[in-house]
A and B are shown apart, each in its own frame.
Chain A
Amino acid sequence: MKTKGKPVWGLLGPYTLWAAVFIVVPLIFVAYYAFTDNSFTFTFDNLLRFFNDKSQMGDTEVRTYMLIFWRSLKLAVISTVICLLLGYPLAYIMSRASDRSQKIMMTLLMIPMWMNFLIRTYAWMTILQDTGLLNGMLTRLGLGNVHIIGTEGAVVIGMVYDYLPYMVLPIYSVMAKLDIRLIEAARDLGCNNYGVLKRVIFPLSMPGVLSGINMVLIPSVSTFYISQKLGNGKFFLIGDAIEGQYVANNLHFAAAMAFILMIILLVMMALIKKFTNNMAYGGEEI
Chain B
Amino acid sequence: MKTASRIFTALVFIFLFAPIAILIIFSFNDAKSLSVFSGFSLRWYRELIYDDATLESVRNTLILALSATVISTVMGTAAAVGINRLRNKWIKSAINTVTDIPMTNPDIITGISLMLMFVFFGRMFGRSDSLSFTTMLLSHVTFCLPYVILQVLPKLRQMDPSLPEAAQDLGCTPVRAFFKATIPEIMPGVITGAIMAFTMSLDDFVISYFTSGAGFQTLPVRIYNMTKKTVTPKMYALATIIFFVILTMLLISNFADEDASEKRKIKRDNRKALKK
> Is A275 at the interface (CB under 8 A from chain B)?
no
Would you call the interface of chain A mostly helix, strand, loop, or mixed?
helix
Contact flags (1/0) for B2-17 with A, using CB distance below 8 Å? 0001001100110111
With A18-B75, A116-B242, A265-B106 in contact, do A164 and B16 touch (Cβ < 8 Å)? yes
> Is B213 at the interface (CB under 8 A from chain A)?
no
With A222-B106, A262-B105 in contact, do A86 and B205 touch (Cβ < 8 Å)? no
B219 / chain A contacts, CB cutoff of 8 Å: 116
Minimal beta-carbon separation of A125 from chain B (angstroms): 9
Which residues in window 206-258 of B have CB below 8 A to A? 206, 210, 219-220, 223-224, 227, 231, 235-236, 238-239, 242-243, 246-247, 250, 254
Measured in the bound complex, the distance between the Cα atoms of B203 and A127 in whole Å is: 23
Measured in the bound complex, the distance between the Cα atoms of B175 and A169 in whole Å is: 38
Q: Could you tell me if A111 and B247 are in contact, using CB atoms closer than 8 angstroms?
A: yes
Measured in the bound complex, the distance between the Cα atoms of B76 and A27 in whole Å is: 21
With A3-B87, A12-B86 in contact, do A19 and B95 touch (Cβ < 8 Å)? yes
Q: Please, which residue of chain A has its CB at the minimum distance from the CB of B258?
A: A103
Q: Could you tell me if A123 and B22 are in contact, using CB atoms closer than 8 angstroms?
A: yes
Q: Please, which residue of chain A has its CB at the minimum distance from the CB of B209?
A: A243
Contact flags (1/0) for B72-103 with A, using CB distance below 8 Å? 00011011011101110000000100110110
Contact flags (1/0) for A1-43 with B, using CB distance below 8 Å? 0110011111111111011101111110110110000000000
**Stretch with Cβ within 8 A of B (4 or more), from A47-55, A61-69, A251-259, A278-286:** A251-259
> Is B42 at the interface (CB under 8 A from chain A)?
no
> Is B190 at the interface (CB under 8 A from chain A)?
no
Measured in the bound complex, the distance between the Cα atoms of B114 and A22 in whole Å is: 7
Minimal beta-carbon separation of B120 from chain A (angstroms): 6
Minimal beta-carbon separation of B1 from chain A (angstroms): 9
Measured in the bound complex, the distance between the Cα atoms of B203 and A118 in whole Å is: 10
Q: Could you tell me if B8 and A14 are in contact, using CB atoms closer than 8 angstroms?
A: no
A242 / chain B contacts, CB cutoff of 8 Å: 108, 112
Q: Could you tell me if A30 and B109 are in contact, using CB atoms closer than 8 angstroms?
A: yes
With A11-B78, A105-B9 in contact, do A229 and B227 touch (Cβ < 8 Å)? yes
Measured in the bound complex, the distance between the Cα atoms of B108 and A261 in whole Å is: 10
Which of A15, A122, A218 is B231 in contact with, Cβ under 8 Å?
A122
With A33-B116, A108-B16, A112-B16 in contact, do A22 and B138 touch (Cβ < 8 Å)? yes
Which residues in window 100-134 of A have CB below 8 A to B? 103, 105, 107-120, 122-124, 126-127, 129, 131-133
Minimal beta-carbon separation of B107 from chain A (angstroms): 7
> Is B173 at the interface (CB under 8 A from chain A)?
no
Q: Could you tell me if A261 and B109 are in contact, using CB atoms closer than 8 angstroms?
A: yes
Measured in the bound complex, the distance between the Cα atoms of B95 and A12 in whole Å is: 10
Q: Could you tell me if B20 and A27 are in contact, using CB atoms closer than 8 angstroms?
A: no
A255 / chain B contacts, CB cutoff of 8 Å: 112, 116
Minimal beta-carbon separation of A38 from chain B (angstroms): 12
Measured in the bound complex, the distance between the Cα atoms of B79 and A263 in whole Å is: 28
Using a Cβ–Cβ cut-off of 8 Å, how many residues does chain A contribute to the interface with B? 80
> Is B145 at the interface (CB under 8 A from chain A)?
yes
> Is B41 at the interface (CB under 8 A from chain A)?
no
> Is A203 at the interface (CB under 8 A from chain B)?
no
Measured in the bound complex, the distance between the Cα atoms of B119 and A255 in whole Å is: 13
Interface centre among A3, A24, A105, A114 (most CB of B within 10 A): A114
Minimal beta-carbon separation of B180 from chain A (angstroms): 16
Which of B8, B16, B82, B109 is A222 in contact with, Cβ under 8 Å?
B109
Which residues in window 1-54 of B have CB below 8 A to A? 5, 8-9, 12-13, 15-20, 22-23, 26, 34-35
| Sample of 11 more A-B contacts, CB < 8 Å, known A7-B174, A11-B78, A164-B15 | A11-B82, A12-B95, A15-B149, A22-B141, A29-B113, A116-B205, A120-B19, A126-B26, A131-B35, A224-B108, A225-B205
Closest 5 CB pairs of A and B: A12-B82, A15-B79, A26-B113, A222-B106, A123-B19
Between A and B, 5 residue pairs with Cβ closer than 8 Å are A11-B79, A90-B9, A122-B227, A218-B106, A246-B112
Residues of B within 8 A of A (CB): 5, 8-9, 12-13, 15-20, 22-23, 26, 34-35, 75-76, 78-79, 81-83, 85-87, 95, 98-99, 101-102, 104-110, 112-117, 119-120, 138-139, 141-142, 145, 149, 165, 174, 199, 203, 205-206, 210, 219-220, 223-224, 227, 231, 235-236, 238-239, 242-243, 246-247, 250, 254
Residues of A within 8 A of B (CB): 2-3, 6-16, 18-20, 22-27, 29-30, 32-33, 86, 89-90, 93-94, 103, 105, 107-120, 122-124, 126-127, 129, 131-133, 136, 161, 164-165, 214, 218-219, 221-222, 224-225, 229, 239, 242-243, 246, 251, 254-255, 258, 261-262, 265, 269
